[in-house]
Amino acid sequence: MNNNQLKNQHLWWRAGFGPPADQVELLSKEKPETLFHSILKASDKKPDFFDVADPVLKQKVMESQSAGPGKYLRLKQGDRQMFRKQSVQDIFKLNIRWIQEMTGSPAQLLEKMSLFWHGHFAAKTVNILYDQELLSVIRMHALGNFRDLLLNVGKTAAMIRFLNNNQNKKGHPNENFARELMELFTIGRGHYTETDIKESARAFTGWGANLQGDFNFRPGQHDEGIKSFFGKTGNLSGEDILEILLEQKQTAIFITRKIYRFFINENADEEKVNVLASRFYESGYDIRDLMIRIFTSSWFYDPENIGIQIKSPVLWMVGMRRQLPMELGNPALLLVLERLLGQVLFSPPNVAGWPGGKQWIDSSSLMLRMQVPGMIYRSQALVSHPKEDDDVMMGRSSHMPLFQTQIQWGDYIKNFNNTEEPAIYAAVSNLLLQKSPPLNEKDLIPYIDESTRERRIQSITIRLMSTPEYQLC
């Protein structure tokens, strides 16, 4: 494979969701640094707000808010059930909308970074207004400043409700948010004490949110007593606690290590992590600057970092659609695949998010991944059934009869117009796989449709997408 092509494909998979079918010819021609800066520039635009919430649901919320605090809790049982059921349906729409953005948006780095933060600041609320707001905050600050991201996420209704800070009141502190803030969002386990948790929980008393999703500070429920936290003493507020945590260099190290493992290699090089973290800290937590340093470094393209990352279910699904454009007649199948493969957007397994790495693959999920390309090609039925979970399945049947997918082969096949017949297999495998192909062409001949040149390219493509090696990037 052309070394430039290998590097550019590596860059596309890590700084985005894989190379698009209509830009394949540039992979061998463009310098990786030039490609990265074009990817970066495409992510500078302010992201749109995804509003998929049902108008009737929003009207019900407005009516309950105007009726005064706590009114929602006294709504009739039928209205509460309607709110939850409609939220579930709308979260499905939000899921599909974001998948579409990941697939087609030129702002690939922004969406990939947002997917990272979606797992870092994991929350499950079954409230479409909360999920829309949290996603908007994440996408707005995904490549901005971590200080702004942390503060704004901390004040979202999704995070406040998910980690019970609405119940955090003077004299009766709830420690959930304070604990996860340190363990998962900033300095990491082993760098704080139980006393730190108790003191910071007191500082966050009074932080709340209404049903509509607005942050609501309740001064009457805030503990104004003296608190001590990491050597600072006084009537500390929640904002003070966040600022103190950001002053700890360990926060920069913790975040940088997690980014390194997500974007570069599961086995973090601690020397590189510490260098990157120092610059991240000195920049005042500039996320964009950190990602520039990563993707323009020479070691990012070292052989030990290429083709060793197991694609997450979302990356695998989106990447396949970017390499092989297709129209889905039944978008609900994406949700079924997310469920079967273990990554349902807006429904993390717990506050720690998805573990990732080798946890993405087991014998059943690998077999399913290897079967799906052929099912798409032949419009077959998906026979696997996820376990029933209405909050995840969005009220839909787990049995989806057909993929109903129309592959748009045009842009893909024209990438091989200048490829001579004997070199087609190598050209296709070089495009799809970041490692050597699992089979030589002779082994694959019995499974290849040789009736036409187009059919040959198509069948080679589907066969290679159905290998374990295609699960790596």
Whether residue 452 lies inside any domain: the answer is yes
Whether residue 353 lies inside any domain: the answer is yes
Q: Cα(461)–Cα(166) distance, rounded to whole angstroms?
A: 52
Q: How far is CA 56 from CA 52, 63, 88, 469, in A?
A: 12, 11, 14, 47
Q: What is the CA radius of gyration of the chain?
A: 24
Please count the other Cβ atoms lying within 10 Å of the Cβ belonging to residue 174.
17
Q: How far is CA 80 from CA 71, 127, 134, 344, in A?
A: 11, 11, 22, 24
In sequence order, the β-bridge partners of residue 328 are 405
pLDDT score of 399: 53
Please choose, from the candidates 92, 72, 80, 51, the residue with its C-alpha nearest in 3D space to the C-alpha of residue 389.
Answer: 92
pLDDT score of 60: 82
Whether residue 242 lies inside any domain: the answer is no
Q: Cα(318)–Cα(56) distance, rounded to whole angstroms?
A: 32
End-to-end CA distance of the chain: 15
Whether residue 326 lies inside any domain: the answer is yes
Number of domains observed in the structure of the chain? 1
In sequence order, the β-bridge partners of residue 215 are 209
Please choose, from the candidates 85, 88, 18, 47, the residue with its C-alpha nearest in 3D space to the C-alpha of residue 332.
Answer: 88
Whether residue 455 lies inside any domain: the answer is yes
pLDDT score of 71: 47
Please choose, from the candidates 265, 262, 267, 296, the residue with its C-alpha nearest in 3D space to the C-alpha of residue 279.
Answer: 296
Q: How far is CA 337 from CA 189, 386, 399, 405, in A?
A: 33, 8, 11, 14
Q: Cα(351)–Cα(449) distance, rounded to whole angstroms?
A: 48
Whether residue 402 lies inside any domain: the answer is yes
How many residues are given for the chain? 473
pTM metric for this prediction: 0.95
Contact 52, 94 (CB under 8 A): yes
Q: Cα(67)–Cα(72) distance, rounded to whole angstroms?
A: 9
Whether residue 376 lies inside any domain: the answer is yes
Digitized pLDDT (tens) for each residue of the chain, 473 residues in all: 679 999 999 999 999 999 999 999 889 999 999 999 999 999 999 999 999 999 999 988 887 766 555 444 455 677 778 889 999 999 999 999 999 999 999 999 999 999 999 999 999 999 999 999 999 999 999 999 999 999 999 999 999 999 999 999 999 999 999 999 999 999 999 999 999 999 999 999 999 998 889 999 999 999 999 999 999 999 999 999 999 999 999 999 999 999 999 999 999 999 999 999 999 999 999 999 999 999 999 999 999 999 999 999 999 999 999 999 999 888 888 999 999 999 999 999 999 999 999 999 999 999 999 999 999 998 777 766 666 665 555 445 445 556 788 899 998 999 999 999 999 999 999 999 998 877 778 887 788 999 999 999 999 999 999 999 999 99
Residue identified by tokens 């409609």 is 86
Q: How far is CA 147 from CA 121, 123, 185, 190, 471, in A?
A: 14, 19, 11, 22, 35
pLDDT score of 72: 47
Whether residue 180 lies inside any domain: the answer is no
HSE value, Cβ hemisphere, 13 Å, CA-based, for 330: 19
In sequence order, the β-bridge partners of residue 216 are 208
Q: Which domain holds residue 447?
A: 313-471
Q: Cα(282)–Cα(357) distance, rounded to whole angstroms?
A: 30
Q: How far is CA 1 from CA 6, 222, 301, 346, 464, in A?
A: 7, 62, 15, 38, 16
